[in-house]
Every structure is written in structure tokens, then in C-alpha cells.
A and B are shown apart, each in its own frame.
Chain A
Amino acid sequence: MGVIERDPYTGHGTTGHEWNGIKELNTTVPWPIWAFLICSVAFAVLWWILMPAWPLGTTYTKGLLGNDVRKDVAAHLRAAAEERSVWMRRIEKEDFAAIQADPALMKNVREAGHALFGDNCAACHGIGATGGPGFPNLTDRAWLWGGTPDAVFQTIRVGVNSEHPDSRSSQMPAWGRDKMLKDSAINDVVAYVYSLSHPGGDGKSSAAQLAAGQKVFADNCAACHGADAKGKTEVGAPNLTDSFWLYGGGEASIYNTVYNGRQGHMPTWESRISKTDRKILTLYVLDLGRAPP
């Protein structure tokens, strides 16, 4: 250890090193730093006593405040439910028509429904609920499984082709891939189905072809889609005479649907969303179709 040398200007000692004529002062730690350090240590000791802190083998000190994040989140959730309960309880008890007739309650439905829809439904049906190819538009008048509140509520509860034991079940067979219809019959029925929603036809199909297609339709498709092709909501078979199309209404899309079949899938929400929240979603979705565009 070198001889401690005092700096003549400040009176402080130096570190005793010299680098090319430069010496370093060894100034004492300023008191605010000491004060801060001491306060920090005092706070830490207090915090050890109040909060869960020290490990003790198989357990740990729980702290005087009894702090537990799991209890906290449960309490926060209960408080939030309590806050909502004023109108949530009414939604729980009252029937759909009564809620729809109450503008104040519908305002709550729109707010809560928007968040629920965004979290759970928007991924498939789109944030505006307008759907996309394979995912139904919920704002139009066409409903595969019925557009009454009870029907929509049931669809949300059990899903379509889902794992739920009561799931709605819809299977459009693969008429071409599974060789149930000949290619010519498929072409005929596609032309016929296309003509149903395009009264003028495409100009390419002859009357004979349309007549042949009508016969194929009556023999194979009418069981689900109905003899008038207006669909059946009991089996989720769409109306083929209107302008609403889930997979596209062009001839190529219709051909693809007939050839490869379609098995849409909507998950069941019974175990994921509470009954009251599902009721809110039902009301929210039906309200979207009513709102002015």
C-alpha cells in the first residue's frame, strides 16, 4: 500500500496511485447517498415483515399483510362482477324480447357484447361480424340455423360440428370426391343451382341441362335443401335461391362445394363463456343486423 497523500487543494486523501502524473482523489461517500442506502435497507426489512419474503425449506414467510396475488385477482373479479350485477342480473332473468325492448339495457348489451365478440367471435366472423369465405356473415338476413334469439343462443352454446354432445350437425357430402354422382350430373346440378339465384342463367346452360340438373337436385339435394331449395334450418342447409353465399355463389365455388362437400365447424362456447355472457352475445349479434348500415 502506497503512502496516502493528501491533496493540497481540497484536503482529501488520494488513492495512492499515479497514472502518468494523474492522481485520483479518494473522496468520502456523500451523506445523501448514505441516507438513501440506510432508508432502502430499513424499507427492505419492513417489507420482509409485511410481504411474503423468506424461504423456509418447504414453506416461506407469509408476511403480516397476508398478500396473495391469487386471492387478489379473485377479489378483483368478484368486485367487477358486483359492479356489473345491477344490469347483469336483469339480463340473466328477463327474456330476450323484454331486454330488446329496453334501450338502457341494450346499451349495456352493446358495450359488453362488443368486448365479448371481439375476444371470442371476431377471429372468424370479423370484427364487424360480416364474416368471410367459410365464416358466416352475422349482419345479414340469412341464418343457417335460424335467426331467432333462441336459435342463435343454442348455436353459440353447442356449436356446429363441435365436440359438444348436443352439437348442431351439418354435413354436405362430397358428391364428386366420394363418387356419389357422375361428373355430368354434377355439372347439371351446378348449372341448375346457379340458375336458382340467377334467374337469367349464365347463358351457357341449355334448358335440357337445367331440367336434368333439377332432377338430380330433387333426387339428391332436396332432402336437406328442400324441394324448393330454400334450405332447412333444422339441418343447417342454406337457402340456395337467395344472394347470400357462405362459400361464394359463382359456378366454380358451387362446383367445388358439390364436388368436395362442406363441413363447417363452430366451436362450442358452453364451457368457455358463462350463460349470461352468451345471452349478451346473442342479443349483440342480433342487434348488429338491425342497426342501420
Chain B
Amino acid sequence: MFKSHYKLERYSIGLAIAIIVVASIGGIVEIAPLFTIHQTVEEAPGMRVYTPLELAGRNIYIREGCYACHSQMIRTLRDEVERYGPYSLAVESQYDHPMLWGSKRTGPDLARVGGKYSDQWQVTHLNNPRDVVPESVMPAYPFLKETELRIDDLPEHLATLRKLGVPYTDDMVANAVSDAYGQAVPDSPQAKGVKERYGEATDVRAFDGDPGMVTEMDALVAYLQILGRLTDAAHKQEAVTGGIK
């Protein structure tokens, strides 16, 4: 055994290739089977896609680095399930490119924060977290409320995600700009199309409290309010695994 190793050590290219082969075994064994094993991603028929406004909010979430302090992954541990709700399923992130599970929590997990607090709270909190949570160490984001949201590039965002497997229809891509506007301006003629394309349960309202201008705050709050609510697969899973509630 050592004889051949001595020989290998004398050929730097051969040694480098051998190192790459050995080092990738661990990765291949752990990652490759996830693409073939049926149980990896659960079924969630009827799961809805992000609306253009929510997608814009998600992009702001990434831009501002929210994922660095907030995870979106409730682990299969008693304390997490009791605090945050049913543990996260892979299928809940199937339209997330990239996924935002995160690996560190300075703030709480946000996987099921949608609907937990009012829009007004989210806006107040993002504007200056200390106004509602005096002990908070989160940075303030007062500029979100004053910055008009860029929506003209949303059709391209939707088209790109469609290439990655998110089932956006031609209709959704073509109307992305008008839907993004309509979802945050409930009295506008564009608002009707949002529910037609994304379902009756879609939130259509002035998320930042001001229907006048579609701001980055509108988009981010719309995104936060949908987190954990694209599908109820996790709640069903809970029923299957033993009725926890």
C-alpha cells in the first residue's frame, strides 16, 4: 500500500487528481442521492408562487442581508416547534432561488412570521426596531419607506426564475409590473389582476400604510407577510406525524 503511495507522491499532477477524487467522495455521497431519493422533497400540490411584489421584497431581503441574522428554517427540535410552529419542509423552499435557510440567528427565525404581526408593526419595526422592541439590536431601515420600488425589471426576474423551474405562466411574466403595482395599491385597476393570477387569498393592500407610492417597504412587508404561507404542507405533515397541537 505504501509503495504505491510513495510512487504517487512523486507525480504532482497525479497526486492532485487523487486528492480531488478522494475529497469529493464525501460530497458526492451526501449530495448526489438527494436528487434521486423520492423523500427529499415532499409533495405540495396547490403551493403558490411568489407574486412580483413579494419577489421584489425577497430581493430587498437579500440585498439588505437579512439572512445573515435571521434564519428561515425551523429545525426538528421540540423548543423550535413549540416556539415557531411546525418544522420546515424542503418543499416550502422549492421556489426559493437561492434558498434563505440561513445558518445563524441573531434575530428570531422568520420561516413562519407571515401573518404573525400586523403590517403596521412590521413597518414601525423596520423603520426603527427600538420603537417597539427596546432591547433590539437590529439596524433601522428608515429609507425603505421613502424609496420608490423598482418594478420595471420584474418581468425579467420572473422569466429567470421560470428557467429555474418556478411555474410562472406567460400571463404572470407579461403582467409582472402591473401586478407589483396593483398588489400595493388596492384601489387601482391593476389590483384585480393580482388575485386572478395568484389566487383569491393573496394579500392586496397598502402594506406600508400609504397607497400613494409603491415603496421598498411595501415589497419587503408583503414578502414577510407571506413567509410560511405559500403552502400548508407543513401543517398537514404535523397531523401525519402525531397531532402535536
* Complex CA–CA separation, A266 to B6 (angstroms): 72
Interface string of B18-46 (1 = CB under 8 A from A): 00000000000100110011110000000
- Cβ B37 vs Cβ A80 within 8 A: no
Bound complex: CA A80 to CA B117 (Å): 27
Q: A27 at the A/B interface (Cβ < 8 Å)?
A: no
Question: Interface residue tally of chain B, by bracket?
Answer: 35 or more
- Which A122-161 residues have C-beta < 8 A from chain B? 122-124, 126-127, 132, 134-135
- Residues on B with C-beta less than 8 A from A163 are 115
The answer to the question of A120 belonging to the interface, with a C-beta cut-off of 8 Å to chain B, is: yes
A119 cross-chain contacts in B, Cβ below 8 A: 83
Flag whether A70 is at the interface (Cβ < 8 A).
Answer: yes
Contact A267 B87 (CB under 8 A): no
Which of chain B's residues have a CB closer than 8 A to the CB of A78? 242, 244
Q: In the complex, which of the residues A1, A70, A265, A274 contacts B245, with contact meaning CB atoms closer than 8 Å? A: A274
For chain A residues 257-290, which have a beta carbon within 8 Å of chain B? 264-267, 272, 274
Contact of A58 among B37, B133, B134 (CB under 8 A): B37
Q: What residue in chain A is nearest B118 (Cβ atoms)? A: A265
Q: Could you give, for residues 72-108 of chain A, a 1 whenever the CB lies within 8 Å of some chain B CB and a 0 otherwise?
A: 1111111011000000000000000000000000000
* B92 CB within 8 Å of chain A: no
Contact pick for A264, options B10, B82, B120, B131, CB 8 Å: B120
The answer to whether residues A77 and B81 also contact, given A72-B76, A124-B132 and a CB cut-off of 8 A, is yes
Q: Which of A59, A72, A134 contacts B38 (CB 8 A)?
A: A59
Which residues on B sit within 8 Å (CB–CB) of A59? 37-39
Which chain A residues in 107-122 approach chain B with CB under 8 Å? 119-120, 122
Query: Assuming A59-B37, A265-B120, what are 17 further A-B pairs, CB within 8 angstroms?
Result: A1-B6, A60-B33, A69-B76, A70-B76, A70-B87, A70-B241, A73-B87, A75-B242, A77-B82, A123-B117, A123-B125, A124-B118, A126-B132, A127-B135, A132-B132, A134-B124, A135-B132
B interface residues with partner A (beta carbon < 8 Å)? 6, 10, 29, 32-33, 36-39, 76-78, 81-83, 85, 87, 115-121, 124-125, 131-135, 237, 241-242, 244-245
